[in-house]
Amino acid sequence: MAFYSEKVMEHFANPRNVGEIKDADGVGEVGNPVCGDMMTFYIKVKDDKLDDVKFKTFGCGAAIAVSSMVAEMAKGKTLDEAMLLTNAQVAEALGGLPPNKMHCSNLGADALHKAIENYKSKGK
Ligand code: FES
């Protein structure tokens, strides 16, 4: 059975950047009403760059791997660069996802973008 790529399995087994940033500059939460999975991203911004990115994901293995990959890809990027990160790029970086798991990858970049929008809405 090869439903998941090695990269997905690896990020699922060893997710990076799990947790919450207590004094986060921005928080973004998205959920999928069908499966009930939820993802929250926390960001710390410094000099217009993502200084730190953490997440909490209540979801399936693919959602956890996606969160881990998004956090890793986003860290160190400028806010504008991070806004350009797409769900498709994340799925690709994970070596693809099974078709019935593509919706899981749709949560990742969306949650990150929401956290950035939340930061911007504070007018800092
Ligand atoms: Fe819904 Fe994975 S099954 S996010």
Per-residue pLDDT tens over the stretch 33-61: 889 999 999 999 999 999 999 999 999 99
Single out the residue of 113, 53, 56 nearest to residue 82, CA to CA. 113
Band of residue 15 on the pLDDT scale cut at 50, 70, 90:
very high
CA atoms within 13 A of residue 62's CA, in its CB half-sphere: 22
The tens digit of pLDDT for each residue in 63-111 reads 999 999 999 999 999 999 999 999 999 999 999 999 888 889 889 999 9
The verdict on pTM exceeding 0.85 is: yes
Question: Is residue 63 in contact with ligand 1, taking CB distance under 6 Å?
Answer: yes
Tell me, what's the pLDDT at 1? Answer: 46
What's the CA-to-centroid distance between 123 and ligand 1, angstroms? 33
Average pLDDT on 24-32 reads: 97
Backbone angles phi, psi at 85, to 5 degrees: -65, 130
Is 60 among the residues known to form the active site?
A: no
Q: Is the pLDDT of residue 118 over 50?
A: yes
Bridge partners of 26, per DSSP, are: 43
Question: Is residue 88 in contact with ligand 1, taking CB distance under 6 Å?
Answer: no
Tell me, what's the pLDDT at 124? Answer: 59
